[in-house]
Structure 1
């Protein structure tokens, strides 16, 4: 059977033509369908919103438009993060991501990236307005952090965001240590700052929900140093 990645690009690809992408999205569905809300009404509602929207998108058999493969310095840690993930509670997601690792478009998302972050951070979108799996009502992807990373204070206008740990330990706003399988919800406008462990990379799956106009142009910005310090009570 011919590999969809080798088909003539003039031929329109659909999700069912690309099993590796389909299985990866099903792993997202599993995480948001069977994970715990920890008794939180807000998290329970967010989980339902993500999985209902994702189910509708999968049922529509959306277009798949391969994007140019792009790496960043931090992607040198990806294989280690996947190795750790395959040994943990989110092993299905880690394994499914490994099947498309050579097709990912890693990027920064900011016009200006601090020098301290260029070698320690990148993200890749797998479903959303820019593809590769096309959707306008939901964005799914992954964020990769190197060891001993501080991802500065930031927020997202009109976008509700959740992270689910695939591998590695991390902290948000210095309030707790989160292990693989845990979920963090950031409501629109919530300021948040991420730090990672000293010796291992951290891989997070993320979901964004919000207005279609905002998802297509999220306008990602890091908070100013003064605003970040005020948010942390410094």
Structure 2
């Protein structure tokens, strides 16, 4: 008897992916052809995921210091335009595996940042074509300069405000697209946590082993608590 769990056996995970699909379907592209193309790419990969009914491999839940701010971030998200995604995320809150993604992480950043993958090569919903997840920042955080080789990345604000490369302020519902190898840095507001949903699309080998690294100069500054 096959006891393998699949997406259709896990409604809460399936509803969470449906909310991702709605966000990438109904949100504005702001007139940008690149963002329009990225949104469609994510939707198409999600449609393929639903059709494939992939395996679900429950992971050991894990936490990090910044998760102390997670409840507040969900409260904020459920008051605004990202209500559906926030509520679906709250349903699986106890099953999330929060992690850093780096072999070495500056001490200051380890207290103020973590992410959880919900769809991707390592699961819990297994895919080698698309990664979806969430990243959480404490108030007054700087996430150092970094880039992703051959991976196209988008962030959508769920709760809290943030800026990238000091170029603009993004509020809940906003999307920003980072093309492969684009160097970017994130800063968050002084009084509220920031919760971002993200999507990564790229070659399967890069999604499986993204080789995340912080830029050396920013890494050194963060390790000093600057």
Give yes or no for TM over 0.5: yes
* Residue number among 165, 170, 176 corresponding to 1:173 in the alignment: 165
| Aligned counterparts, 1:161-200, within 5 A | 161-200=153-192
Deviations 1:157-202 (A, max 9, x none): 0000000000000000001110000000000000000000000100
Contact in 1 for aligned 2:106/2:219 (Cα 8 Å): no
Q: Offset of 1:128 from its aligned partner?
A: 0.4
Shift of 1:84: 0.3
> 1:88: which partner in 2?
80
Matches within 5 A, 1:130-149: 130-149=122-141
2:205 to 185, 210, 213: 213
Aligned length: 220
Q: In the TM superposition, what is the alpha-carbon distance from 1:81 to its structure 2 partner? A: 0.2
For the residue of structure 1 that corresponds to 2:170, the secondary structure is coil
CA contact (8 A) 2:145 2:218 kept: no
Distance 1:115 1:132 in 2: 28
**1:3 corresponds to which residue?**
none
Runs of 4+ in 1 over 4 A off after TM superposition: 226-229
Separation in structure 2 between the aligned mates of residue 18 and residue 141 of structure 1, nearest angstrom: 17
- Counterpart CA distance in 2 for 1:226 and 1:49 is 32
CA–CA distance in 2 between the matches of 1:100 and 1:75? 14
Cα deviation for residue 228 of structure 1 reads 10
1:224 Cα offset (Å):
1.5
Matched with 1:201 is 193
Question: Quick one: distance in 1 between partners of 2:125 and 2:193?
Answer: 26
Q: 1:226/1:30 Cα in 2 relative to 1: closer, same or farther (>3 Å)?
A: closer
1:128 to 120, 123, 148: 120
Matched-pair contact (CA < 8 Å) for 1:153–1:228: no
Report whether the alignment pairs 1:19 with 2:6.
no
Gaps of 5+ in 2: 222-226
Q: For 1:63, what is the secondary structure of its paired residue?
A: coil
Mapped partners of 2:190, 2:219: distance in 1 = 26
Paired with 1:138 and 1:61, the residues of 2 have a C-alpha distance of 14
